[in-house]
Amino acid sequence: MARAAWVGIATLAIGVLVASIPGYVSDILQLGRASWMGAPVEAPAAFVFALDLLGVLASVTAALLCLTLGVVLFWRRSDDWMVVFISSYLLAYGAVFAGPLEWAQGYYPWWPSLAIAVVQPLLLTVPTVALIILFPDGRVVSRWARMLGISSVFLVVAILFLPPAFGFVLWPIILLGALSTQIYRYRRVSTPTERQQTKWVVFGILLWLVLMGLLGIPYALASSMPPGSALPWWALAGSTGWWLTLTIVPVSLSIAVLRYRLYDIDVVINRALVYGSLTAMLLLVYFGGVATTQALFRVLTGQERLAQLTVVVSTLVIAALFDPLRRRIQAFIDRRFYRRKYDARKTLEGFSARLRDETNLDSLNAELVSVVQETMQPAHVSVWLRSDAVPGDRQPR
């Protein structure tokens, strides 16, 4: 039954993608339309067309990637109903959220707007709640999780038939409740492998939210401009980033399901924390230094324009701070979030330093056992030494 349902969903998703192709082509052929948010874009027509083309291609890429990942998951793991469900979710995600349904609606005048309003809650709201509750093994871990799954159906009813305020209130409550069941699962039920799967998905969601927040800054700046004023070119370029960020969650979900290089997520999270913090601090130092220098320059000289030498000096200071600051942030994150690995590394470094001067075999064995117990924490440790025997003689050298 799950496979039959998947075939139906795949057929609909691919059909929507095919039906949206004329909408994509029609948008591309409108050379230099220079319109976004109902206002002209301050850039040459050819440049605006190139940005529009990138946005359309990014939308097509996002949709094709989601559909491809859904097909790959079904092809590799169709014997697992949870994987079939996730594959179906990616198909619906690619058809609805990644753009094809919207582009088809924009091209066909007869395409009812009501279909969008009905299809989106049905294909994304209930499956999203179910995915959060069931991931990664498909089991319901608490009665509370089962109640949340049933309440998501009432959420769809509220979205479709009740005033919007009901949906705005119910959706965050149900979503937070589903996330709480995932936290409970992670801490009390999940195996080490399942925890790595959860880390991949959570990292993808957080990365998507961060990038969406950053992409929202240009949108907010463009929205705050006076009515009728020309928009800067980067206001149009934000749509390309929007479509590409939609692929982050499907990719991380597919890696988690296929269990491909699961334990690399710890390295990815570590690097993201280090370089994300480093970038934020360097930007803060740079803009803070430039602003402070500009204020002092204005007070001392009475001129408004800042000398280019100051900008160059600030850039050189940032370059000089990069490596020392990165090492300090790396050490802080290792101590704070990876304490066991940090202590193990320090222990091994100390052991390797003492190893050069140790000549007593018994002392070396005892210290080796101690280091293994401290770093790896096995249930039992023993050391076996192989003697190189003389040929024809059982006595060791």
Q: What is the DSSP string of 29-42?
A: TSTT--EETTEEBS
Residues 213, 115 within the same domain: yes
Residues contacting 277, CB < 8 A, separation 6+: 329, 333
Assess whether 251 and 290 both reside in one domain: no
Nearest-angstrom CA–CA distance, 342 and 338: 6
Same domain, 137 and 223: yes
* 321-342 b/e (C-beta count within 10 Å ≥ 16 → b): eeeebbeebbeebbeeebeeee
Report which of 90, 154, 162 is spatially closest to residue 124, judged by C-alpha positions.
90
Tracing tokens 């005892």 back to the chain, one arrives at 366
Tokens at residue 324, please? 């020392």
Is residue 194 in some structural domain? yes
203 falls within a domain:
yes
Task: Look at the chain and report how many structural domains it folds into.
Answer: 2
- Asked if 251 and 69 touch (Cβ cutoff 8 Å), the reply is yes
Question: Would you say residue 124 lies in a domain?
Answer: yes
Scored b (16 or more CB within 10 A) or e, 108-122 reads eeeeeeeeeeebbbe
**For position 72, what pLDDT does the model report?**
92
DSSP three-state, residue 384? coil
Last residue of a domain, one of 321, 337, 353: 337
pLDDT (0 to 100) of residue 71: 93
Are residues 278 and 229 part of one domain? no
Tokens encoding 63: 């949709």
Domain assignment present for 357: no
pTM of the model: 0.72
In a domain, 354, yes or no: no
Verify that 180 and 309 share a domain, yes or no.
no
Its domain, for residue 328, covers 274-337
Q: C-alpha 327: how far from its chain's center? A: 25
| Residue 309 structure tokens | 């030498």
| Same-domain pairing of 278 and 238 | no
pLDDT attached to residue 34? 42
In angstroms, rounded to a whole number, what is the distance separating the alpha carbons of residues 99 and 21?
11
Q: Which residue has the tokens 């770093």?
A: 375
Determine, yes or no, domain membership for 395.
no
Q: Which of 260, 292, 309 is the last residue of a domain?
A: 260
Is 369 within the bounds of a domain?
no
Q: What is the pLDDT along the chain (397 residues), one digit of tens a residue?
A: 888 989 998 998 888 888 888 877 776 666 444 444 556 667 677 777 777 778 788 888 888 999 999 999 999 888 889 999 999 999 988 888 777 777 776 666 666 555 566 666 666 778 888 898 999 888 888 888 888 878 877 777 777 677 777 777 788 888 888 888 899 899 888 888 898 899 999 999 889 988 888 888 777 777 777 766 667 777 777 778 888 898 999 999 999 998 877 777 777 777 777 878 778 888 787 777 767 776 676 666 666 555 566 667 677 777 777 788 888 877 777 766 665 565 566 666 777 767 766 666 777 777 777 777 766 667 778 888 777 655 555 544 4
- Any idea what DSSP says for residue 264? G
Confirm if 241 and 211 have CB atoms less than 8 A apart.
yes
Domain boundary among 229, 260, 291: 260
Same domain, 256 and 329: no
Task: Give me 201's structure tokens.
Answer: 């998905």
Say yes or no: 183 and 212 in one domain: yes
| 280 and 182 in a common domain | no
The answer on 127 and 61 residing in a single domain is: yes
Q: How many CB atoms lie within 10 A of CB 219?
A: 14
Cα–Cα distance for residue pair 229/221, rounded to 1 Å: 12
Closest CA to 131 of 123, 338, 394: 123
Same domain, residue pair 234 and 283: no
The answer to whether residue 388 sits within a structural domain is: no
Residue 67 CB contacts under 8 Å (≥ 6 apart), including other chains: 13, 14, 17, 90, 91, 94, 95
Question: What's the rounded Cα separation, in Å, for the pair 123 and 70?
Answer: 15
CA-closest candidate to residue 130, choices 115, 140, 120: 140
Mark whether 321 and 209 lie in a shared domain. no
